[in-house]
Amino acid sequence: MIATVDRFSRPLRDLRISVTDRCNLRCRYCMPREAFGNDAVFLARKELLSFEEIARVARVFASLGVEKIRLTGGEPLLRREIEVLVAMIAAIDGISEVALTTNGTLLAGKARALRDAGLRRVTVSLDALDEEVFRSMSDTRIPLARVLAGIDAALEAGLSPVKINMVVRRGINDHCVLAMAERFRGRPEVLRFIEYMDVGTTNGWRLEQVVSAGELRDAIGERWPLEPIVPDRLGDVATRYRYRDGAGEIGFIHSVSAPFCASCTRARLSAEGRLHTCLFATRGHDLRAFVRGGATDAQLSREIALIWAARSDRYSADRAEETAGRVCAEKKIEMSYIGG
Ligand code: SAM
Ligand code: SF4
Ligand code: SF4
């Protein structure tokens, strides 16, 4: 296979597929209720790619070099029988890993079926262990215990590793960082801290609310000394550390303070079949039109290869160079639409 590379020689290796733009939480940094309230308009059923359509597109991506696929959303476990899609994707030649990112609220009832279908890895988003902070950040009445039960079920089902993603916002949940680290030290889950990003246009992002990965690492390292782990894979988004006392690993995703655009090998497919070559891309490429318009796999493959070859995105690196807080002139896509 000839590697498909973009204008900065980055190969196409990972695909994130959003399977729905709906969610049962309203995290204030992602789907604030002011913008995603009762009258919010979501994609209609017929606009969503079917499982067959998603699997077909995934097969074409695999033929272009994609090895790793992550299902996301919105909340991917809201899509009925998502395990059927997992099985379809796991069966594709060349796909070595199928993973899923979820808010965990529906995971307890699904973990076993997902594992049986071929899912290997799951990432659960969890921003606090304090009930009040959790409910306030996620703007929900769903109890935190549901998420914790989901994490336990994932471990019991043998999903490995189970990663826990915590988005940290200054003044909102930064006081919960040490408690999170303590809870997951010495456990099989791998905790990762994510810098709050300026995705979309509805969350009112401000640079002052970003707690940098360096600041977090110093605070945790002061309490429990850390040492770096050498990265083993191009496109790894987290900088990994291990506790010196042998209590396991933690990671930091420093998308804002130290962008990793130079090694970004990731494409994103929205629930309605638009291909985005960057999390911050304002416009996607309509692959659904090809899929539903009778294109052959060869035509679809050529289209995707052309899109990737023309790719020159490096939004976060540009933002960092231009000093943070740049206002994007065009309307950026929302995180709940593209799935992070
Ligand atoms: N609903 C699922 C979940 O929450 O895990 C999957 C979709 S969610 C959009 C994917 C990830 O994006 C979550 O880990 C979430 O915390 C993260 N996220 C959403 N908005 C973010 C922001 N503004 N900055 C950083 N991470 C964000
Ligand atoms: Fe839903 Fe995930 Fe966004 Fe929270 S981060 S609102 S759980 S899509
Ligand atoms: Fe990749 Fe775009 Fe994020 Fe840079 S800003 S790491 S190119 S998704």
Residue 40 buriedness (CB in 10 A; 0-12 / 13-18 / 19+): middle
Q: Mean pLDDT in runs of 10 for the chain (340 residues)?
A: 85 97 97 93 97 98 97 98 98 97 98 97 98 97 98 97 96 97 97 91 85 96 96 76 97 89 94 95 93 97 97 86 52 75
pLDDT of res. 319: 76
Among the listed residues 213, 133, 214, 141, the one whose alpha carbon sits nearest the alpha carbon of residue 171:
133
Adjacency order of strands within the sheet including 162-168 = 226-228, 239-243, 249-253, 190-195, 162-168, 121-125, 97-102, 68-72, 14-18, 266-269, 274-276, 285-286
* Domain spans in the chain, listed from the N-terminal domain onward: 14-338
User: Given ligand 1 and candidates 125, 207, 315, which is best to mutate, with the most ligand atoms within 8 Å of its CB?
Assistant: 125
Helix H or strand E encompassing 239: strand 239-243
Q: Which CATH number fits domain 14-338: 3.20.20.70, 1.20.120.350, 2.40.110.10, 3.90.1530.10?
A: 3.20.20.70
pLDDT of res. 233: 67
pLDDT of res. 257: 86
Q: State in Å: Cα 20 to ligand 3 middle.
A: 21
User: Given ligand 1 and candidates 335, 336, 337, 338, which is best to mutate, with the most ligand atoms within 8 Å of its CB?
Assistant: 335
Q: Check if the beta carbon of residue 98 is closer than 8 Å to that of residue 104.
A: no
Write down how long the chain is. Answer: 340
Q: Which ligand is nearest to the CA of 137?
A: 2
Residue corresponding to tokens 């360096």: 214
Q: Which ligand is nearest to the CA of 125?
A: 1
30 within ligand 2 shell (Cβ under 6 A): yes
Q: State in Å: Cα 318 to ligand 1 middle.
A: 22
Cβ-based neighbours of 27, under 8 Å, separated by 6 or more: 103, 127, 137, 138, 139, 167
The phi and psi torsions of 70 (rounded to 5 degrees) equal -120, 130
340 within ligand 3 shell (Cβ under 6 A): no
For residue 103, the ligand 2 atom closest to its alpha carbon is 7
pLDDT of res. 328: 44
User: Given ligand 3 and candidates 18, 72, 257, 278, which is best to mutate, with the most ligand atoms within 8 Å of its CB?
Assistant: 278
Q: State in Å: Cα 262 to ligand 2 middle.
A: 27
Task: Copy the structure tokens of residue 95.
Answer: 């796909």
Q: State in Å: Cα 259 to ligand 3 middle.
A: 8
